[in-house]
C-alpha cells in the first residue's frame, strides 16, 4: 500500500511572527487605534477545501476524495472545513467573514513570484522593495518599531523601521551600550551605512518594553501577538507566517496535511481573540496566500498550484459577518484547471487598511496598491 | 572583499591572486578537529567512522523509525527519554555532518573553494525534514563539492538525481500514469504525476521564468522525471530495488513513450533525464541566469552588465567548466572596489578563522555531548540563530544574497552577541592587536577599536567593522 507519512515539523520556524508599529519610546498608541493582523499562508491555500462550495454540483465531480465528510454547513451553498471549529463560532457572532473565488491578479503560479506579489502589493513581482502594509503604515504615520528576525517584505515601508527578536543562545549575554553606542557613531550617517546604523541603534533600545519570551509554536505566537497588541504601547500590526500549505501530495480531506494546517489557522484566530481581550473589538485579522490550488486532484492525491482561493477574516472591527462571493461557473475553469478569481483580493486588503488605520480608499488605491481603479468594497465587509 | 574569500591569519592581509586561486581549485580533503577544548587542537583528516555512504544513510532512516517506535512503548518517562537521547546520538549522523561542515570552513585549507560550495549548496537547495536531514552530508561532500571541479551540466544532473533532492521536491510521488506500476495499482489508490521538481528545475535551477515555458513543458518534464526514486525514505523496497543509488531510476514506475520538452523530443528510459538536463545546461538563458546569480552573490547586490557578461563569456567559451567560471568570478572580485556585505554564516566562519577561536564542536564534543557551560557550541544552534541553516526545512529558492534581507536590529544583535561569545568562550589564539596588524584597516576603524581598553569590546567592534562586514 502506498502510504505517505506527512512531513513532520522541525523544531524551529514552523511559523514565524513579526510585530510592526510599536510607537516611539515614551508614546502610546491612540486608545481607539484599530489593529491589523495579517496571517500569511505560505504555499497556496486550497480555498475549495477550506470552504467547499457544496451547493455546486461540479464540486463532487472534480474532487470527491478531497472533500471533507464532516463539513460545517454555513448556508445552502458553502460549508466550512471541520478544522475551523473556532472560526465558525466567530462567524455566528458577527465577527468573521469569508471572501471566496478571490486572488491577487497574479496567474503565473510561482511561489516566489506569488509571495512577492501578495506581500509587495504590486502585480509585477520583484519590482517593489516595500510591502503594502509598510506603505499603509507610512501613510498613516504608524511606522514606529518592529519585532522580527528578518523584516518581512510585507512590513517594509519607506520609513526605515528598527526591529528586535530575542536570541536563544544559552551562555551568551546581552550587547552592552558602550559597544552599540561606539558602533553607532562609527557608522555615522553615510548613505551606504544608514541601514546598519539604524539597526545598531535598534539593538540598544531592544530591551525596553520588549516581551521576554518568544515561542515558536503558531498558536502561542498568536496568543502573544494578541497580548502585545492589547497594550497601550504595543504594536498596531502583527504578521504571522504559517508554512506547509503546498500540498502537492497526499493532501487529505477531513484529516491530513492540509487539514492540519487549516487547524493551525483556526487556532491562530482563536488565540488572537483570546490574547487581544478588549482590543478584539478594534481588530481585523485576514489571511493572505499566494494562490489557490487546482480544482482537480492530481496523481499523488494532492493538488497543484492554482489561482482563485478563499480569504478568511475575523475581528470585532468587522461589525458583521458576511460571505462574499461572485461564484464563477465551475464548468469553465481558468485555463481548464483552476477556480477563477472574481474578487480582487487587493480590494479586501485595502478595505482592512481603510478601516483599521482610518485612511481614505482613493489614497490607498493609488499610493499603496498603485491602482486608482481598485474597487472600494469596505462597506460590503465592514459595518 | 578579500576577507570574505576565506583569508585567515595564515595568509597575508593582501594575498596574491594565485594564493586565492589555488585555494579555489585545490580538491577538498575532509578535515576536522577532535575537540574544541583541547589545548591546541590539530586539524586532522575527518575520521572514517564518521563517514557514511548514501546507502547506509538511507538504511538508518528506517532503522531509526523502527527503534524510535519501540522506545515509545516504554512506560517509564525518564527511561524513555534517555533511550530516545541515545537513539538520537546513534542515528542522527547529520550532527556529525554539521560539525564537519563548520570544521572544513574553519580548519580546512581550501577556504575559497568553501565559499563557492556555499553558493552551489544554496542554488541547488535541498530543504530537509526529520527523515532527509541525514542525507545532506552526502549531498554536500559527494555531489556539490566534487562536482565543482567539473562542468555545470555534470553538477546539474548529479544534484537533480540525488535522493535528497528527489525526496525534497516530491519526486517520490511522481509516477508515470502509464507505467507498469500505475497499471497494476491504479485501482487501489490514486497515483500519477507530480510537477514540483520539474517546475523548480526550470524556474530556479536552470533557465528561469525568462524562458516562458508552458504548463505542458512542465508536465512533460515531470513525465521524464517520473520513476526517479519513487520511494518513501523509510520504505524497505528503496534499497532492495535500486541497484546504483546514484542513478535511482525505476523503469517500473517510469512513464513510457517519448516526451516533448521545450520543443524537443526525448525518448523513454533512464537516459532521457540526462539529455534534458544537458540541453537545459547549455541553454543561453541558464548561462545568463547563473552568471548573474554568481555576480550577485560574490560581487555586488547590483552587478554591472559588464561583470555578468564577463562571467557568461567564460562560461560559453569553456562549456560551463566550473573551475574556469569560478576563476572568472574570483578575478572580478579581486579587481573590484565594490563592497559586498557578508552573509551571516560566512561572517561567522571567517571570525572563527581569523581569531583562531575554537567555539564550535570538534567530532568528539558532539559524541560526548558537551554542555553549553563547557564553552563549546553546536553548529546547528549557530545556524538557526543566524537564520542561515542548510539543514532546515526551507523554500527551494534558498537564502537571499542581498544586504536588505540580512540587516536588521536582530541580525546586528546576533553578530554582536556571537562575537562576544567567541571572545568569551572561543579561546581565540589571536589578539585584537595582532588581527589589526594583519587586516590593516582604515584609520577610522583603528580609532574605533582603540577607543576602549576593554578587550572584549575591542574584539566585538573589530568584527563589526566596515572592513570585516563588507560595507
pLDDT digits (tens, 9 = 90+) for B348-361: 998 998 898 999 99
For residue B458, which residues of chain A lie inside 8 Å, CB to CB? none
pLDDT mean over B248-253: 96
Contact B411/A at CB under 8 A: yes
- Mean pLDDT computed over every residue of chain B: 90
Residue of A nearest to B386 (CA): A149
Contact B384/A at CB under 8 A: yes
Candidates B339, B410, B447, partner chain A, best to mutate (most A CBs within 10 A):
B410
**Reduced to 3 states, what is the DSSP secondary structure of residue A32?**
coil
Distance from CA of A110 to the nearest CA of B (A): 9
For residue B199, which residues of chain A lie inside 8 Å, CB to CB? 110
Gap between the Cα atoms of B164 and B396, Å rounded:
13
Contact A208/B at CB under 8 A: no
pLDDT mean over A224-245: 86
Nearest by CB to A110, from B174, B175, B209: name it. B209
The confidence band for A27, taking pLDDT boundaries of 50, 70 and 90, is: low
Nearest by CB to B194, from A163, A175, A249: name it. A249
pLDDT mean over B62-83: 87
Return the C-alpha cell found at B347: 561572517
Higher per-residue confidence, B22 vs B217? B217
Specify the DSSP class assigned to residue A250.
-
CB atoms within 10 A of CB B108: 22
Q: Is the pLDDT of residue B337 over 60?
A: yes
Q: Is the pLDDT of residue B370 over 80?
A: no
Contact B454/A at CB under 8 A: yes
% chain A with pLDDT above 90: 51
Q: Is the pLDDT of residue A282 over 70?
A: yes
**Which residues between 323 and 382 in chain B have a beta carbon less than 8 angstroms from any beta carbon of chain A?**
339, 372-373, 375, 377, 381
The confidence band for B7, taking pLDDT boundaries of 50, 70 and 90, is: low
pLDDT mean over B394-422: 85
% chain A with pLDDT above 70: 84
Q: Is the pLDDT of residue B315 over 60?
A: yes
Gap between the Cα atoms of A341 and A378, Å rounded:
18
Measure CA A301 to chain center: 27
3-state DSSP of chain B: CCHHHCCCCCCCCCCCHHHHHHHHHCCCCCEECCCCCCCCCCCEECCHHHCCCHHHHHHHHHHHHHHHHHHCCCCCHHHHHHHHHHHHHHHCCHHHHHHHHHHHHHHCCCHHHHHHHHHHHHHCCCCCCCCHHHHHHHHHHHHHHHHCCCEHHHHHHHHHCCHHHHHHCCHHHCCCCCCHHHHHHCCCCCCCCCCHHHHHHHHHHCCCHHHCCCHHHHHHHHHHHCCECCCCCCCHHHHHHCCCCCCCECHHHCCCCCEEECCEEECCCCHHHHHHHHHHHHCHHHHHHHHHHHHHHHCCCCCCHHHHHHHHHHHHHCCCEHHHHHHHHHHHHHHCCCCCCCCHHHHHHHHHHHHCCCCECCHHHHHCCCCHHHCCECHHHHHHHHCCCCCCCCCCCCCCCCHHHCCCHHHHHHHHHHHHHHHHHCCCCCCHHHHHHHHCCCHHHHHHHCCCCCHHHHHHHHHCCHHHHCC
For residue B173, which residues of chain A lie inside 8 Å, CB to CB? 4, 248-250, 299-300, 302
Contact B451/A at CB under 8 A: yes
Contact A111/B at CB under 8 A: yes
The whole-number pLDDT of residue A5 equals 22
Residue of B nearest to A206 (CA): B409
- Interface contact flag, A10 B393, Cβ < 8 Å: yes
Specify the DSSP class assigned to residue A10.
P
Nearest by CB to B407, from A3, A172, A199: name it. A199
Give the model confidence (pLDDT) of B35-61 as tens digits. Answer: 998 888 999 999 999 999 999 999 988
Q: So what's the ipTM on this one?
A: 0.76
Return the C-alpha cell found at B16: 596574491
Q: What is the pTM of this model?
A: 0.72
Residue of B nearest to A185 (CA): B448
pLDDT mean over B328-334: 92
Specify the DSSP class assigned to residue A368.
I
pLDDT mean over B92-100: 92
Candidates B409, B421, B447, B458, partner chain A, best to mutate (most A CBs within 10 A):
B409
- Interface contact flag, A169 B193, Cβ < 8 Å: no
Distance from CA of B407 to the nearest CA of A (A): 6
Sign of the alpha-carbon torsion through A180, A183, A185, A188: negative
Q: Is the pLDDT of residue B10 over 90?
A: no
Contact A257/B at CB under 8 A: no
Return the C-alpha cell found at A234: 504595543
For residue B175, which residues of chain A lie inside 8 Å, CB to CB? 299-300
- Interface contact flag, B196 A248, Cβ < 8 Å: yes
Q: Is the pLDDT of residue A149 over 60?
A: no
Nearest by CB to A149, from B174, B410, B457: name it. B410
- Mean pLDDT computed over every residue of chain A: 84
Amino acid at each position: 500500500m502506498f502510504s505517505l507519512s506527512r512531513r513532520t515539523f522541525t523544531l524551529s520556524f514552523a511559523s514565524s511572527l513579526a510585530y510592526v508599529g510599536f510607537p516611539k519610546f515614551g508614546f502610546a498608541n491612540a486608545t481607539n487605534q484599530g489593529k491589523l493582523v495579517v496571517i500569511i499562508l505560505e504555499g497556496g491555500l486550497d480555498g475549495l477545501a477550506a470552504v467547499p462550495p457544496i451547493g455546486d454540483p461540479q464540486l463532487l465531480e472534480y474532487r470527491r476524495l478531497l472533500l471533507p465528510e464532516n463539513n460545517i454547513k454555513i448556508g445552502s451553498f458553502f460549508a466550512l472545513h471541520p478544522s475551523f471549529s473556532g472560526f465558525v463560532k466567530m462567524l455566528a457572532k458577527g465577527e468573521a467573514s469569508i471572501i471566496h473565488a478571490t486572488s491577487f491578479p497574479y496567474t503565473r503560479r510561482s511561489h516566489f513570484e506569488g509571495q512577492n506579489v501578495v506581500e509587495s502589493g504590486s502585480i509585477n513581482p520583484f519590482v517593489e522593495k516595500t510591502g503594502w502594509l509598510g506603505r499603509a503604515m507610512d501613510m498613516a504615520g504608524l511606522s514606529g518599531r518592529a519585532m522580527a528576525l528578518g523584516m518581512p517584505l510585507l512590513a517594509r515601508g519607506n520609513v526605515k523601521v528598527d526591529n528586535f527578536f530575542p536570541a536563544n543562545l544559552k551562555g551568551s549575554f546581552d550587547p552592552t551600550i558602550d559597544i552599540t553606542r561606539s558602533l553607532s557613531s562609527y557608522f555615522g550617517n553615510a548613505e551606504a551605512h544608514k541601514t546598519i546604523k539604524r539597526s545598531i541603534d535598534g539593538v540598544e533600545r531592544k530591551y525596553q518594553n520588549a516581551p521576554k519570551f518568544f515561542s515558536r509554536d503558531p498558536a502561542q505566537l498568536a496568543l502573544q501577538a494578541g497580548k502585545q497588541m492589547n497594550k497601550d504601547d504595543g504594536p498596531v500590526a502583527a504578521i504571522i507566517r504559517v508554512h506547509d500549505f503546498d500540498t502537492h501530495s497526499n493532501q487529505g480531506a477531513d484529516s491530513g496535511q492540509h487539514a492540519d494546517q487549516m487547524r493551525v489557522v483556526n487556532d491562530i484566530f482563536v488565540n488572537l481573540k483570546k490574547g487581544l481581550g478588549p482590543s478584539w473589538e478594534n481588530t481585523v485579522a485576514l489571511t493572505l496566500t499566494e494562490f489557490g490550488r487546482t480544482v482537480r486532484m492530481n496523481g499523488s492525491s494532492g493538488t497543484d498550484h492554482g489561482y482563485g482561493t478563499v480569504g478568511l477574516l475575523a475581528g470585532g472591527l468587522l461589525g458583521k459577518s458576511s460571505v462574499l462571493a461572485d461564484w464563477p461557473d465551475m464548468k469553465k475553469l481558468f485555463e481548464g484547471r483552476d477556480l477563477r478569481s472574481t474578487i480582487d483580493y487587493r480590494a479586501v486588503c485595502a478595505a482592512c487598511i481603510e478601516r483599521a488605520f482610518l485612511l481614505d480608499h482613493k489614497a490607498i488605491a493609488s499610493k499603496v496598491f498603485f491602482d486608482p481603479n481598485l474597487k472600494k468594497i469596505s462597506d460590503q465587509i465592514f459595518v | 572583499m578579500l576577507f570574505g574569500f576565506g583569508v585567515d591569519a595564515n595568509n597575508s592581509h593582501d594575498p596574491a591572486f594565485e594564493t586565492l586561486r589555488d585555494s579555489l581549485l585545490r580538491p577538498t580533503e575532509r578535515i576536522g578537529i577532535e575537540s574544541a577544548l583541547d589545548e591546541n587542537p590539530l586539524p586532522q583528516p575527518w575520521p572514517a567512522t564518521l563517514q557514511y555512504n548514501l546507502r547506509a544513510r538511507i538504511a538508518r532512516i528506517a532503522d531509526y523509525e523502527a527503534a524510535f517506535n519501540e522506545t515509545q512503548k516504554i512506560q517509564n518517562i525518564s527511561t524513555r527519554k534517555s533511550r530516545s537521547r541515545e537513539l538520537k546520538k546513534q542515528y542522527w549522523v547529520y550532527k556529525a555532518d554539521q560539525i564537519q561542515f563548520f570544521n572544513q570552513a574553519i580548519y580546512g585549507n581550501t577556504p575559497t573553494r568553501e565559499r563557492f560550495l556555499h553558493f552551489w549548496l544554496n542554488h541547488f537547495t535541498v530543504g530537509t525534514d526529520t527523515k532527509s536531514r541525514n542525507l545532506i552530508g552526502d549531498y554536500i561532500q559527494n555531489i556539490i563539492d566534487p562536482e565543482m571541479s567539473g562542468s555545470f551540466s555534470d553538477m546539474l544532473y548529479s544534484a537533480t538525481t540525488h535522493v535528497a533532492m528527489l525526496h525534497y521536491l516530491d519526486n517520490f510521488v511522481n509516477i508515470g500514469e502509464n507505467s507498469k506500476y500505475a497499471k497494476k495499482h491504479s485501482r487501489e489508490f490514486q497515483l500519477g504525476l507530480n510537477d514540483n521538481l520539474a517546475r523548480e528545475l526550470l524556474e530556479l535551477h536552470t533557465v528561469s521564468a525568462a524562458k516562458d515555458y508552458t504548463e505542458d513543458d512542465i508536465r512533460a518534464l515531470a513525465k521524464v522525471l517520473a520513476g526517479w526514486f519513487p520511494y518513501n525514505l523509510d520504505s524497505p523496497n528503496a534499497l532492495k530495488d535500486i541497484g546504483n543509488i546514484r542513478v535511482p531510476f525505476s523503469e517500473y514506475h517510469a512513464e513510457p513513450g517519448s516526451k516533448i520538452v521545450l520543443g524537443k523530443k526525448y525518448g523513454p528510459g533512464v537516459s532521457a533525464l540526462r539529455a534534458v538536463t544537458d540541453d537545459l545546461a547549455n541553454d543561453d538563458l541558464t548561462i545568463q541566469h547563473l552568471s548573474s546569480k554568481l555576480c550577485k552573490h560574490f560581487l555586488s547586490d547590483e552587478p554591472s552588465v559588464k561583470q555578468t557578461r564577463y562571467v557568461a563569456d567564460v562560461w560559453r567559451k569553456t562549456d560551463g567548466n566550473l573551475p574556469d567560471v569560478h576563476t572568472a568570478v574570483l578575478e572580478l572580485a579581486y579587481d573590484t572596489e565594490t563592497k559586498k556585505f557578508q552573509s551571516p554564516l560566512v561572517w561567522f566562519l571567517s571570525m572563527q578563522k581569523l581569531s583562531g577561536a575554537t567555539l564550535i564542536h570538534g567530532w568528539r564534543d558532539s559524541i560526548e555531548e558537551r554542555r553549553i557551560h563547557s564553552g563549546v557550541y553546536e553548529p546547528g544552534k549557530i545556524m538557526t540563530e543566524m537564520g542561515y541553516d542548510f539543514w532546515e526545512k526551507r523554500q527551494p529558492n534558498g537564502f537571499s544574497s542581498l544586504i536588505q534581507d540580512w540587516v536588521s536590529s536582530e541580525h546586528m544583535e546576533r553578530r554582536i552577541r556571537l562575537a562576544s561569545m567567541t571572545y568569551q568562550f572561543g579561546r581565540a589564539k589571536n589578539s585584537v592587536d595582532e588581527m589589526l596588524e594583519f587586516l590593516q584597516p582604515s584609520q577610522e576603524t583603528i580609532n574605533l577599536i582603540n577607543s576602549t581598553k576593554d578587550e572584549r569590546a575591542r574584539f566585538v567592534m573589530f568584527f563589526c567593522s566596515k572592513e570585516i562586514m563588507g560595507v
